[in-house]
Structure 1
Amino acid sequence: MNRKNSFIHRLGLCFSIVLGQSFMAAPTYSQALSTDSIHREASLSEVTVTSVVGTKRKVAGKGRTASIEEHLLQLGNVSMVRRGNYAWEPVVNSMATERVSTTIDGMKIFYACTDKMDPVTSYVESGNLQRIRLDSGLDGNPQATGNIGGSIDLKLRKAGFDAKSHAYNATMGYEANGHLQVYGADAAFSTDKFYSNVGAFYRHADNYKAGGHEEVNFSQFQKVNAFLNLGWQPVENHIIEGTVIFDRATDVGYPALTMDVSDATGFISSLSYRREQLHGLFYRWETKAYYNHITHNMDDTQRPDVVIHMDMPGRSSTTGLYSLLQGSRANHQYQLNYDAYYNTLFADMTMYVKGAKPMYMLTWPDVGTLSQGLALTDDIQLAPHHTIHLSAKGAWQYRRINDDEGFRALSIYFPGMERTASDLTGRVALSYAYRYNGWKLAVGTGYGSRTPSVTEAYGYFLNNTFDRYDYIGNPHLKHERAFELNGSLAWASETVEASLEANAFFFQNYIIGTPDERLSPMTIGAEGVKVYCNLNNAQIVNAAAVVNWQFSDWLSWHNRLTYSYGKENTGARLPMIAPLTYQGALKLFWRNFESEAGVQAVARNSHYGSKYGETSMAGYAIWHFNIGGHFQIGTVGTDIHLGAENLFDRHYSTYSDWNHIPQKGRNIYFNLSFQL
């Protein structure tokens, strides 16, 4: 306990935050950094974000009743691993949680479930988000660490100063498939000295039905989310801000797994100071201190025919800070960021065998992680048509197994292992862009490393229902390293946007679980035991082609074709790599109305990771349609949207649906929102 307290003491907390945003913003995608071919930001407001062209009109969708996962799926480099109808795991550039950094307003948060049933994105709500920032590959945001695949930062909604004095929103949504109900309300208040955002959202869903009216048992969930964002400006250009988020999900079913979740609760808080209009090398300084605590309880009491009942709770606590300086000089726009955090992860399992004493086991042995990092970015305008973007970060990490029992258990399999470990990691990325007469050419490269996750280094007999193996961490793992190449070519006119983009990652010491036939599994029915190890090398390649036509002010056609490829040093295919996918949509605008008809067509997954338990998946085509409108009645704005997903009730699963659980069949949805 004294060691843990000393870790926290070494952090030395301060204050900070992000510039307040307007209460309502038009939903768009944009290239946020001109030199990065695949760095995007999406603004969230009333509708599902989507690419726009020509007249920049917005497109109908679920809006703020949509889940965070549905918003993320609108970003081109993102897909989802789905274990149920709730809390999908984001995948960026064909890489999952271990290789992706996810933050909320720059705050590091770590999930508390050994089965990744509670990704960071599950603890926020669309109504409290202003933007989603996606950085592709090794060019991460300043607070990101270990982001080989990319980084996601969820920017919270801030009313800001001198905005509309008061604004109110009420939202409700209903989906027929699974009887999903969404209710939300929020309010914003603003003066030249003070602002606040406060709101709450509630979601409830029963079991949904797959195509052909097949009920998917244990796919229900309910959650409540409440948030408060405050800002105070006691003196001009000196700003103090605070955030509190409470999120609780209960009775969450996971049809792809053998257990459900009785309770997943997150508490997220921050206090920050920001100084504007500085003189000299830097014009802005912001510093934020934060604390968050996550608890997660897996439960199998609602499942029939349970051979051995188990309790599997987990918890995660993180205390941290970051301090960001922004400046400009001549043709340079630069940022300097220091961040630090201390996190503890603890999970255990109790098995209740009939006629015997309960069996207890630690699955995460109370691992404490102290991390500090220094990041620098610089955007350089070489000439009117030539720009360079440079980013780099170095980080130091210290870990300790705090639980004696957990340390002794792992030592049986790794004699002589150390209780503590310290590591240096880093990343550097460089990109160049040329723009001329509607054309843009961008090329980039990067190199970086990451330390093993707590699961990869210290996990203890964690059952993976995907390949039916128990997994043991390996404290002797080397750093995983990756070299990235990326490029894009784009052309745009008043009516057409077209682009080609690709990236390739070449790994050394790629971390993945491999069978160890000397060990016996603890889970009934498990195929065996896998231990995490380093493969000599692996490769992942992603490519996309996009063509958008704006036929007129009221009609546009959007098309995107993507392909991904992944293999390791033996030639075996890596799992969870997307097959060839086409997405197309016709979008219609007329006065205050908007509609969309589209399709997603996916080829058969013929190149799959059979070595890692993956099987082939059939191709499919899924159609959708929606229509919506905005009406102003006096001072009250009203948005109405109606839509249908999987129009022809196709029964299908995607490559990333855990254990091939089927997707929703035909789903009719309706949402209504009011703004005052």
Structure 2
Amino acid sequence: MRHRPHPLSAAVALACMSGLLAQPAQAQQAAEALQPLEEIQVQAPRLPGLNAPTNRLEARRLSPLSTADTARLLRSVPGVDLSSAGGVSSLPVIHGLADDRLRISIDGMDLISACANHMNPPLSYLDPSNLAEVAVYSAITPVSVGGDGLGSAIIVKSKTPRFATAAEGSLTSGELGTFYRSNGNARGVNASASWANENLSVRYTGATAESSNYTAAKAFKPGYQATNTIKGSHWIAGDEVGSSAYKTTNQALDMALRNANHLFTLKLGLQHIPYQNFPNQHMDMTDNRSTQVNLGYEGRFDWGTLETRVYHEHTRHSMNFGADKLFWYGASATVPGMPMDTEGKNTGAALKASVLLNEQDVLRVGAELQQYRLNDWWNPSGGGMAPDTFVNIHNGQRDRIDFYAEWEGALDARWSALLGARHSQVKTDSGAVHGYNSGYNTDASAFNAKDRARSDNNLDLSALARYSASETLQLEGGYSRKTRSPSLYERYTWSTGGMAMTMNNWVNDGNGYVGNPDLKPEVAHTLSVSADWHDPTRQVWGLRLTPYYTLVDNYIDAVRCGPANPACVKAATNLNSGRFVYLSLANQDARLYGLDLSGFFPVASGAGWGSLTGRGYLGYTHGSNRDTGDHLYNVMPLNARLALEHQLGSWTSTLESVLVRGKHDVSAVRNEMETSGYGLLNLRTRYDWKQAGTQARIELGLENALNQQYANPLGGAYIGQGMTMALNGMGSPYGIPVPGMGRALYAALSVKF
């Protein structure tokens, strides 16, 4: 196994590929932390420290060639589910918590979705072809990994610089890749080129992908129409999932300068998404442009390691009705456009050090700073949208400064422990707003009259302990206190007008929302234990069981607008079921619990036909509102992945079954829809070829091979084929979950030279 040590902690860098944890070896790690930056050959498995992720996966194991959606690569990680959105904007869900409640970092940058509908989440800014590895903290997350989240964390790294040896002088390399998927006629290409000598490395990466609307397994009849829907000059067939097309382009230029034990990096990123349609949103993305500058330094000294980083990201985002949403059902008149624009500016800095106190103890200390600015405005476009521009958020500000300290050490030959604390101060504010016309004056005046500045002082704690009972069994347990301050959209969206509320929806449920400036930070208390059985080498078999229990104080949940709700008085009909509704936000208490069970084991092997390995995962999460007794929104029901993997030389083939129980524990306050249980069969194979400095990989796969009709339990409400005439007063029909993709044959090819 080839591995490059992480500059901050050798314990993190030497996590096992299977994600199964073992006891730390601080003495070995302390020595390895001072190794030079060249790659080293690891001859035997190492034991990770307690701040290692639950699962660490390299890109070569994730098969990133066949998709443009980086989040989809996490489908096989225990504890991770996906809330579907646009074609490149899926949202990871870990143990019932998603989106802003997770800490997601891309090359050390804490990115924020600059959109009222969260169409540009952090993982959408990195193309899968530029991915190096993903680290997922699904159980207890140490404070050194990050704050401003309720527990779980996803740490993503793009490909690292490669340097030439003294004998090579200079080194040039390149990569070309392409993929095609039959369902939706999806296709993509990527290319990269790099040059390096002993001290300087330069690498360019570019990728583009696009897809038409995908189709479900069979025709679905929403009930508000016959079998077809008018779409411009042609018809949308009954199995076509409207508003699921997309096109995206990502480019990156990475430069690195190395001098002895010091490494300077500069990463420049550019993204352009000319369109990405959303089947579970009232709006579509009509343009998204992002530029990123990320400057970093890593140094190694006799006392430990030091890392600093400064970054800036600028996003310019636009929404409107896409082609599938521009026609009334059964009518010939087009709907006027509804332009919505957003500009976000995100500037951050980080300083962290790992200090080797002795052969057994490591102290990690650090500070982080983030300054975020957001403007969200909607230009008038006719009807009641005149004569002024609607200002949804004006000069939104969210500033965060963190300090943390964390100790990790071995107590004796069998016991190790980790303790950490982080303090965060989060300040938010928003400027004065106004609506399209005088009809919005009452809400705007009330909002403008408020003192909108808020300051939160948040405390995070983490404590972990591990007991190595034998070379085949490790036991681990811990507690964490994690805190998240509300987002700008949760605090500062202000209009109680039906249209404006419908345009503010970051959870894909079809409902309308208004913010609450008085929301308090969410505080999650999590207890988790793990039992990890494995063979002594961790290569033959393994089984890991992780139950968890989380109590969330001041959980931000939805509250119905109605005659008794002074925050947003609506008609009594808004309290009915079987329709989209208008909602405000309030702090309540919540409870989540469940378990992850994962493992792998040899089935059979033979010299002439290779080896057969069984892999499996089972996950269960239950979430409830302790104040109301309601179920929490968008929690994945009991599900499992079972696979047989065959390896013969350079061939790897997998037969996989995905089993999901029906979703019946739904959020009543949101009128969340139930979904039926289903089973999917996926087939895939790949061949790796290497000769004379050239590497190639070809992949073939058949997803949903039996063409099973299903709906993703986390897919949200289907509103992708347009608006309707006065259906439920919300402009779109209620009652249809987003259909899943039908049978899809894909092929992918990658060549490195």
**Does TM, normalized by the shorter one, top 0.5?**
yes
- In the alignment, the residues of structure 1 paired with residue 115 and residue 198 of structure 2 have an alpha-carbon distance, to the nearest angstrom, of 43
- In the alignment, the residues of structure 1 paired with residue 467 and residue 441 of structure 2 have an alpha-carbon distance, to the nearest angstrom, of 57
AA of the residue aligned to 2:614: W
Select which of 84, 87, 97 maps to 2:86.
84
- Once the two structures are TM-superposed, the CA of residue 654 in structure 1 deviates from its matched residue by 1.4
2:712 is aligned to 654
CA-to-partner distance for each residue in 1:550-578, whole Å, 9 max, x for gaps? 23451100111111100012211111111
- Once the two structures are TM-superposed, the CA of residue 668 in structure 1 deviates from its matched residue by 0.3
- In the alignment, the residues of structure 2 paired with residue 37 and residue 29 of structure 1 have an alpha-carbon distance, to the nearest angstrom, of 12
CA-to-partner distance for each residue in 1:340-384, whole Å, 9 max, x for gaps? 011011212234333873453222232112211012222211112
CA-to-partner distance for each residue in 1:83-104, whole Å, 9 max, x for gaps? 2333111222211122112121
| Shift in CA distance, 560/136, structure 1 to aligned 2, threshold 3 Å | closer
Q: Secondary structure at 1:215's aligned position in 2?
A: coil
- Once the two structures are TM-superposed, the CA of residue 26 in structure 1 deviates from its matched residue by 13
More displaced 10-residue stretch of structure 1: 163-172 or 597-606: 163-172
1:119 is aligned to 121
5 Å-filtered alignment, 1:395-434, equals 395-403=424-432, 405=434, 412-413=445-446, 417-434=450-467
Matched, 1:296 2:321: no
| Shift in CA distance, 386/132, structure 1 to aligned 2, threshold 3 Å | same
- In the alignment, the residues of structure 1 paired with residue 515 and residue 182 of structure 2 have an alpha-carbon distance, to the nearest angstrom, of 43
2:471 is aligned to 437
Q: Secondary structure at 1:348's aligned position in 2?
A: strand
Select which of 576, 599, 602 maps to 1:550.
602
| Shift in CA distance, 408/74, structure 1 to aligned 2, threshold 3 Å | farther
Q: Secondary structure at 1:352's aligned position in 2?
A: coil
| Shift in CA distance, 85/67, structure 1 to aligned 2, threshold 3 Å | closer
- In the alignment, the residues of structure 2 paired with residue 314 and residue 492 of structure 1 have an alpha-carbon distance, to the nearest angstrom, of 50
5 Å-filtered alignment, 1:72-471, equals 72-136=74-138, 139-140=141-142, 142=144, 144-162=146-164, 165-212=171-218, 214-233=239-258, 235-276=259-300, 278-280=301-303, 283-300=304-321, 302=323, 303-305=326-328, 307-330=335-358, 331-354=360-383, 357-358=386-387, 360-403=389-432, 405=434, 412-413=445-446, 417-435=450-468, 436-461=470-495, 462-463=501-502, 464=505, 466-471=508-513
- Once the two structures are TM-superposed, the CA of residue 297 in structure 1 deviates from its matched residue by 0.6
- Say whether the 8 Å CA contact 2:78–2:598 is kept in structure 1: no
CA-to-partner distance for each residue in 1:503-553, whole Å, 9 max, x for gaps? 11101111112012143579xx98553221111x21011312223212345
- Say whether the 8 Å CA contact 1:365–1:403 is kept in structure 2: yes
| Shift in CA distance, 18/123, structure 1 to aligned 2, threshold 3 Å | farther
| Shift in CA distance, 122/29, structure 1 to aligned 2, threshold 3 Å | farther
- Say whether the 8 Å CA contact 2:15–2:52 is kept in structure 1: no
| Shift in CA distance, 337/409, structure 1 to aligned 2, threshold 3 Å | farther
| Shift in CA distance, 237/209, structure 1 to aligned 2, threshold 3 Å | same
Q: Secondary structure at 2:669's aligned position in 1?
A: helix
Q: Secondary structure at 1:127's aligned position in 2?
A: helix
- Say whether the 8 Å CA contact 1:92–1:149 is kept in structure 2: no
| Shift in CA distance, 175/118, structure 1 to aligned 2, threshold 3 Å | same
- Say whether the 8 Å CA contact 1:541–1:565 is kept in structure 2: yes
| Shift in CA distance, 38/604, structure 1 to aligned 2, threshold 3 Å | farther
Q: Secondary structure at 1:651's aligned position in 2?
A: coil
Q: Secondary structure at 2:676's aligned position in 1?
A: coil
5 Å-filtered alignment, 1:47-66, equals 47-48=61-62, 61=63, 63=65, 65=67
- Once the two structures are TM-superposed, the CA of residue 301 in structure 1 deviates from its matched residue by 5.2
Select which of 34, 38, 41 maps to 2:56.
41
- In the alignment, the residues of structure 2 paired with residue 189 and residue 376 of structure 1 have an alpha-carbon distance, to the nearest angstrom, of 39
- In the alignment, the residues of structure 1 paired with residue 664 and residue 202 of structure 2 have an alpha-carbon distance, to the nearest angstrom, of 52
| Shift in CA distance, 39/547, structure 1 to aligned 2, threshold 3 Å | closer
More displaced 10-residue stretch of structure 1: 384-393 or 223-232: 384-393
- Once the two structures are TM-superposed, the CA of residue 300 in structure 1 deviates from its matched residue by 1.0
AA of the residue aligned to 1:470: G
- Say whether the 8 Å CA contact 2:192–2:205 is kept in structure 1: yes
- In the alignment, the residues of structure 2 paired with residue 636 and residue 534 of structure 1 have an alpha-carbon distance, to the nearest angstrom, of 57
- Say whether the 8 Å CA contact 1:289–1:322 is kept in structure 2: yes
Matched, 1:511 2:588: no
Select which of 529, 540, 545 maps to 1:500.
545
- In the alignment, the residues of structure 1 paired with residue 200 and residue 428 of structure 2 have an alpha-carbon distance, to the nearest angstrom, of 41
- Once the two structures are TM-superposed, the CA of residue 80 in structure 1 deviates from its matched residue by 1.4
1:476 is aligned to 518
- Once the two structures are TM-superposed, the CA of residue 138 in structure 1 deviates from its matched residue by 5.7
1:53 is aligned to none
AA of the residue aligned to 1:311: P
AA of the residue aligned to 1:293: H
2:230 is aligned to none
- Say whether the 8 Å CA contact 1:195–1:231 is kept in structure 2: yes
- Once the two structures are TM-superposed, the CA of residue 611 in structure 1 deviates from its matched residue by 2.7
AA of the residue aligned to 1:491: W
More displaced 10-residue stretch of structure 1: 319-328 or 132-141: 132-141
CA-to-partner distance for each residue in 1:88-137, whole Å, 9 max, x for gaps? 11222211122112121111211111111111110111122211122235
- Unaligned 5+ residue runs, structure 1? 1-16, 49-60
- In the alignment, the residues of structure 2 paired with residue 399 and residue 217 of structure 1 have an alpha-carbon distance, to the nearest angstrom, of 37
Query: How many residues in Structure 1 have an aligned counterpart in Structure 2?
Result: 638
- Once the two structures are TM-superposed, the CA of residue 145 in structure 1 deviates from its matched residue by 2.4
TM-score (norm 2): 0.80
1:592 is aligned to 650
More displaced 10-residue stretch of structure 1: 138-147 or 578-587: 138-147
Q: Secondary structure at 2:454's aligned position in 1?
A: strand
More displaced 10-residue stretch of structure 1: 442-451 or 157-166: 157-166
| Shift in CA distance, 301/176, structure 1 to aligned 2, threshold 3 Å | closer
| Shift in CA distance, 438/226, structure 1 to aligned 2, threshold 3 Å | same
- Once the two structures are TM-superposed, the CA of residue 188 in structure 1 deviates from its matched residue by 2.7
More displaced 10-residue stretch of structure 1: 477-486 or 156-165: 156-165
- In the alignment, the residues of structure 1 paired with residue 600 and residue 134 of structure 2 have an alpha-carbon distance, to the nearest angstrom, of 22
AA of the residue aligned to 1:513: A
- In the alignment, the residues of structure 2 paired with residue 604 and residue 628 of structure 1 have an alpha-carbon distance, to the nearest angstrom, of 33
More displaced 10-residue stretch of structure 1: 110-119 or 357-366: 357-366
- Once the two structures are TM-superposed, the CA of residue 140 in structure 1 deviates from its matched residue by 4.8
TM-score (norm 1): 0.88
- Once the two structures are TM-superposed, the CA of residue 231 in structure 1 deviates from its matched residue by 0.7
More displaced 10-residue stretch of structure 1: 157-166 or 505-514: 157-166
- In the alignment, the residues of structure 2 paired with residue 602 and residue 31 of structure 1 have an alpha-carbon distance, to the nearest angstrom, of 24
- Say whether the 8 Å CA contact 1:102–1:108 is kept in structure 2: yes
- Once the two structures are TM-superposed, the CA of residue 582 in structure 1 deviates from its matched residue by 1.3
AA of the residue aligned to 1:394: H
Larger radius of gyration: 2
- Once the two structures are TM-superposed, the CA of residue 143 in structure 1 deviates from its matched residue by 6.0
- Once the two structures are TM-superposed, the CA of residue 467 in structure 1 deviates from its matched residue by 4.8
- In the alignment, the residues of structure 1 paired with residue 526 and residue 442 of structure 2 have an alpha-carbon distance, to the nearest angstrom, of 38
| Shift in CA distance, 565/201, structure 1 to aligned 2, threshold 3 Å | same
